[in-house]
Amino acid sequence: MMSTITWTAPAALWLLALVPVVFLAHRLARTNFNARQGLLQASLRSLLLAALVVALARPILSTRSSRQSIVYVVDVSHSIGSPAIETAARRIDELNAALTPSHSRIVVFGANARPLESTAALRQLAQLDPGAEDPTHVDRRATDLEAALDGARAELAPDHIPRIVLFSDGRPTAGDTRAAMARLALERIPVSIEPLAVRSLGDTWVAAIDAPEVIHATASFPVTVTIGSQRDGTAQVELRAGAKVLSQKTATIGKGVTAVVLDATIDAPGDVLLEAAVVVQGDPLAANDRLRRAAWVDSPVRVLYVEGAPASARYLSGALTGAGFDVTVRTPAALPATPAGLDPFDVLILSDVARAAIPGGAMAALPAWVQNGGGLLVAGGEAVFGEGEGGYRRTPLEGLTPVTFERKDEPSLALVLVLDRSWSMAGSAMNLCKAAAQAAVDVMADEQSVGILTFNDKFDWDVKVKNVGKNRDEIREKVGAIEPGGRTLIFPALEQAYLALRNAKARAKHVVLLSDGRTYPDQYEALVKKMVEARITVSSVAVGPSADQELLRSIAEWGKGKEYMVADPKELPQIFVKEAKNAGTPGFEERELRPLVKSPSFLSSVDLAHLPPIQGFTSTVMKDSAVEVLGTPDGDPLLAFWPVGLGRTAVFASDVKNRWGARWVEWRGYGPFFSAVVHAIERQRARPAGLEVTPGPIRGTTRAAAIAVEARDGAGNYRDLLHPIVQVRSGAGATRDVSTRQVGPGRYEATVMADAREVLTVSMKGDAADQAPGVTRTIVPDPVAEYRLAPADEPFLKAIATATGGAWRPAPAALVNAPGDRTTDRRPLWPILFASALGLWFVDLLFRRIRVFE
């Protein structure tokens, strides 16, 4: 057996240097003892002094020992049933019988820990009614694993090899188990685990309430209420905020846990207490059927909705308002012209707004506003996009969006001008008509195609559909050679235009029909609708009062084009130029198609599997690094996102109204879809002064709460030398002010002690609160946590065993000492040495009173 000696005060050993003085003095002795006795006396005195010196150095003898001390810690809190406690008693007996440790103890615990004499006492305890007075004085209304492990640590015999065996369900409701684990791990005390079954009552309880981190007032948000149950059944789940019922649902619940998702809406911003309740028929324990948690509700998301066609704004406006957004609808002219003007809003929606309708200042203000966190959604429509003067190509807005407004497969336009050359057009009207056609050809891009079809009672292709580029002069020349004559017969000419464009390779196919007279009735509607089906649009120009305005208006309407009533032929060149430009630049396609989902997890809260078809969309090109969420079967983006500085932008390439989105506005997912899109881009407003409240572990009836205030200015700089004050209220008690103190740049802290059974509310006050008024944090206690009878938390219990080096469900072999397991048995030697010195003193005296060796 290895032994070592440690010295408590080793400096005292220097006194040993004085011991030889005894022999030196002996040489000068005047006593008359014989030399041998004199030597004996000197030796005795030296020994006596040496013993005293060594005792003063206070040595402790340490010897290696393999004696074992086992403490069994048994959870007897109310969540543990009697059979489980009896099982624990049986296991303890088995382990003790197999191990026969030198020392063993039993500690039982709930909210506190107490030693117990024997397993017989433990069995008696198991038989006690949970409500009966407990002779062990264990408070069984809570589970404090820290108290249990600390209590077990205290019961371990000193100088023994320590073993702790914990019997528990691993569901602490108080104390800091992590700290206790850390202490035991640092002391190398292994904790082996025997999981205990919880009391089985066939009970149902509310286990948890999960709400989104950010909740906006008036906006719907999902709340997941987790119901724990020991049986299958049907439960009525209700969610309240104060007295107001937010939502309720009947759900089928199974044994174990069932998550029930409820949609809730809170009307006003601020701090709210959400309370979930479950009602199940025949539930034996009512106390655990309710659970509360705090939530902070922000102001509603403020949306500025700028609609190019204000009459159609009601669809999206209504949907967003219904979803809790604070929506302001404006016309494009009322768009704020400065970033400051936009700052009150979190999201700006530009829907079907023509480039020309956006004031110059507003266009310039957008980038700065988005860079600083604003969210921008650009929705499509007829008025938007394009390369020309009226489009967004190469505008600041295009720089912000995830798409560019170019046409990805230009040349894109095939335009047929169907011109009336009857007699009635002769003169200046004809000349102006020819000049207008030539002007239209002039503004067309080289790669675009044009055809000139003139008609009277018959039709002629003055210019067959051909590329403008190198034919521009020739086309101009042929237009110039058109001569009037004959009567007006529109239908065959229009049919020819259809036949010419039907199979033409162009993204946009457009017909401009010009006439100043009347024609015979025919199957115009059928023809034009066939043209629309072939993606050919038709605009009409009625010249003068003699024109068949009703027919031409109808043709434009059927043909999804524009109608022009021209009193003065001088307007014709302007109209033709506009038509030529717009026909090439609108970049929209009007056809029914079903959107394809490209990134299914992006808008996870929306049912993307059942998106209705759209009737048209604006054609754009994705930027390289933008995220495409929806697209067309042809590869055009429909919904795309893009980050810009601190902000995010999105483009919805169809419209949000009843034209292309006619099926969408009827879809019940319309509101949730656009709510999700707006939420995805909404401004994340960082609070200049942040308030964190971190609850500490419950100890007895109190808990500490650490409060931290983080203060910065708008630019992110620390705000120093403030005196933030927090108001603290515990339960219904009076509010008290607590000063925080600065601990680092921009950071202020305080700690408060509070009654762990009461709701603790902390709110900002003082000079740091100016930028975060009304910010409140609440800690809600769960007084019946012990009675939420969830099964043993095995992962947590295994973590305790792993961290401390213990075993899971230990067999006796796992608890026996390993070959190298030795502890140190310490014995202080100085009491023995003092006793020896006293004895030596008597012997010393004796040998001065008797003579020996004579």
With CB under 8 A as the rule, give the number of residues binding other proteins.
94
Token duo for residue 573: 């060149």
Give the contacts of 120 (CB within 8 A, at least 6 positions apart).
none
Instruction: Give the Cα separation of 52 and 497 in Å (integer).
Output: 126
CA dihedral 519, 525, 527, 528 (to 10 degrees): 100
Instruction: Give the Cα separation of 69 and 618 in Å (integer).
Output: 79
Rounded to a whole number of angstroms, the minimum distance from the CB of residue 211 to other proteins is: 18
The yes or no reply on residue 641 touching other proteins (CB under 8 A) is yes
Structural contact between residues 441 and 467, judged by C-beta atoms closer than 8 angstroms: no
- Among residues 775, 780, 779, the alpha carbon closest in space to that of 724 is found at 775
Between 53 and 235, name the residue whose CB sits nearer to other proteins: 53
Between 457 and 713, name the residue whose CB sits nearer to other proteins: 713
Considering only residues 586 through 615, tell me which ones interact with other proteins, judged by CB under 8 A: 599-602
Between 311 and 715, name the residue whose CB sits nearer to other proteins: 715
Between 470 and 849, name the residue whose CB sits nearer to other proteins: 849
Strands (E), 723-830: 725-730, 735-739, 741-744, 747-755, 760-765, 776-779, 823-828
Between 311 and 850, name the residue whose CB sits nearer to other proteins: 850
Rounded to a whole number of angstroms, the minimum distance from the CB of residue 122 to other proteins is: 15
- Please report the DSSP string for 517-557 in residue order: S-----SHHHHHHHHHHTTEEEEEEEESTTS-HHHHHHHHH
Query: Using CA of residue 300, residue 301, residue 307, residue 312, what is the dihedral sign?
Result: negative
Rounded to a whole number of angstroms, the minimum distance from the CB of residue 819 to other proteins is: 23
Rounded to a whole number of angstroms, the minimum distance from the CB of residue 139 to other proteins is: 12
Between 97 and 850, name the residue whose CB sits nearer to other proteins: 850
The yes or no reply on residue 848 touching other proteins (CB under 8 A) is yes
Considering only residues 426 through 445, tell me which ones interact with other proteins, judged by CB under 8 A: none
The yes or no reply on residue 63 touching other proteins (CB under 8 A) is no
Q: Residue 181 carries which side chain, given as an amino acid letter?
A: M
Rounded to a whole number of angstroms, the minimum distance from the CB of residue 157 to other proteins is: 9
Considering only residues 677 through 696, tell me which ones interact with other proteins, judged by CB under 8 A: 696
Q: Residue 729's beta-bridge partner residues?
A: 735, 761
Instruction: Give the Cα separation of 118 and 72 in Å (integer).
Output: 11
Rounded to a whole number of angstroms, the minimum distance from the CB of residue 11 to other proteins is: 12
DSSP state of 289: G
Choose the binding region for other proteins from 150-158, 277-285, 292-300, 493-501 (rule: CB under 8 A): 150-158
Please tell me whether residue 158 adopts helix, strand or coil conformation.
coil
- DSSP collapsed to 3 states, 175-221: CCHHHHHHHHHHCCCCEEEEECCECCCCCEEEEEEECCCCEECCCEE
The yes or no reply on residue 813 touching other proteins (CB under 8 A) is no
Structural contact between residues 463 and 451, judged by C-beta atoms closer than 8 angstroms: yes
Rounded to a whole number of angstroms, the minimum distance from the CB of residue 794 to other proteins is: 13
Sketch the per residue contact string, 362 through 391, with other proteins: x for CB under 8 A, - otherwise: ------------------------------
Q: Which residue has the tokens 């043909």?
A: 559
The yes or no reply on residue 35 touching other proteins (CB under 8 A) is no
Rounded to a whole number of angstroms, the minimum distance from the CB of residue 675 to other proteins is: 17
Considering only residues 285 through 304, tell me which ones interact with other proteins, judged by CB under 8 A: none
Rounded to a whole number of angstroms, the minimum distance from the CB of residue 333 to other proteins is: 33
Rounded to a whole number of angstroms, the minimum distance from the CB of residue 325 to other proteins is: 21
Considering only residues 732 through 761, tell me which ones interact with other proteins, judged by CB under 8 A: 741-747, 753
Selected binder of other proteins within 133, 243, 624, 813 (CB under 8 A): 624
Selected binder of other proteins within 1, 11, 17, 28 (CB under 8 A): 28
Between 51 and 440, name the residue whose CB sits nearer to other proteins: 51
User: Hey, how many other C-beta atoms are within 10 angstroms of the C-beta on 654?
Assistant: 25
Token duo for residue 766: 């003082």
- Among residues 552, 550, 517, 521, the alpha carbon closest in space to that of 538 is found at 552
Selected binder of other proteins within 181, 225, 306, 511 (CB under 8 A): 181
The yes or no reply on residue 32 touching other proteins (CB under 8 A) is yes
Between 163 and 560, name the residue whose CB sits nearer to other proteins: 163
The yes or no reply on residue 133 touching other proteins (CB under 8 A) is no
Q: Which residue has the tokens 């006795």?
A: 37
The yes or no reply on residue 773 touching other proteins (CB under 8 A) is no
Rounded to a whole number of angstroms, the minimum distance from the CB of residue 627 to other proteins is: 6
Structural contact between residues 362 and 370, judged by C-beta atoms closer than 8 angstroms: no
- Strand-strand pairing, 413-420 and 449-455: parallel
Token duo for residue 587: 């970049």
The yes or no reply on residue 788 touching other proteins (CB under 8 A) is no
User: Residue 422 — φ and ψ, nearest 5°?
Assistant: -70, 175
Between 62 and 549, name the residue whose CB sits nearer to other proteins: 62
SS3 content of the chain, % helix, strand, coil (to 5): 30, 35, 35
User: Residue 238 — φ and ψ, nearest 5°?
Assistant: -130, 140
Instruction: Give the Cα separation of 262 and 239 in Å (integer).
Output: 8
The yes or no reply on residue 667 touching other proteins (CB under 8 A) is no
Per-residue exposure over 297-307, b if at least 16 CB sit within 10 Å of its own CB, e if not: beebbbbbbbb
Selected binder of other proteins within 81, 101, 110, 151 (CB under 8 A): 151
Between 33 and 564, name the residue whose CB sits nearer to other proteins: 33
- Strand-strand pairing, 113-116 and 161-168: unpaired
Rounded to a whole number of angstroms, the minimum distance from the CB of residue 698 to other proteins is: 10
The yes or no reply on residue 18 touching other proteins (CB under 8 A) is yes
Selected binder of other proteins within 40, 61, 128, 185 (CB under 8 A): 185
Instruction: Give the Cα separation of 144 and 697 in Å (integer).
Output: 10
Instruction: Give the Cα separation of 412 and 92 in Å (integer).
Output: 86
Rounded to a whole number of angstroms, the minimum distance from the CB of residue 155 to other proteins is: 5
The yes or no reply on residue 15 touching other proteins (CB under 8 A) is yes
Selected binder of other proteins within 325, 345, 459, 642 (CB under 8 A): 642
Selected binder of other proteins within 1, 11, 31, 819 (CB under 8 A): 31
- Among residues 274, 358, 350, the alpha carbon closest in space to that of 305 is found at 350
Per-residue exposure over 142-163, b if at least 16 CB sit within 10 Å of its own CB, e if not: bbbbbbbbbbbbebbbebbbbb
Selected binder of other proteins within 10, 158, 427, 731 (CB under 8 A): 158
The yes or no reply on residue 17 touching other proteins (CB under 8 A) is no
- Strand-strand pairing, 256-265 and 627-631: unpaired
Choose the binding region for other proteins from 197-205, 206-214, 659-667, 798-806 (rule: CB under 8 A): 798-806
Between 319 and 833, name the residue whose CB sits nearer to other proteins: 833
Considering only residues 700 through 729, tell me which ones interact with other proteins, judged by CB under 8 A: 700, 702, 704, 712-713, 715-718, 720-721
Rounded to a whole number of angstroms, the minimum distance from the CB of residue 747 to other proteins is: 8
The yes or no reply on residue 155 touching other proteins (CB under 8 A) is yes
- Among residues 852, 393, 449, the alpha carbon closest in space to that of 620 is found at 393
Selected binder of other proteins within 35, 98, 120, 179 (CB under 8 A): 179
Token duo for residue 279: 């009602």
Rounded to a whole number of angstroms, the minimum distance from the CB of residue 115 to other proteins is: 5
Structural contact between residues 537 and 498, judged by C-beta atoms closer than 8 angstroms: no
The yes or no reply on residue 503 touching other proteins (CB under 8 A) is no
The yes or no reply on residue 577 touching other proteins (CB under 8 A) is no
Q: Which residue has the tokens 């015999």?
A: 157
Selected binder of other proteins within 356, 426, 686, 846 (CB under 8 A): 846
Between 255 and 848, name the residue whose CB sits nearer to other proteins: 848
Structural contact between residues 54 and 91, judged by C-beta atoms closer than 8 angstroms: no
Considering only residues 195 through 254, tell me which ones interact with other proteins, judged by CB under 8 A: none
The yes or no reply on residue 107 touching other proteins (CB under 8 A) is yes
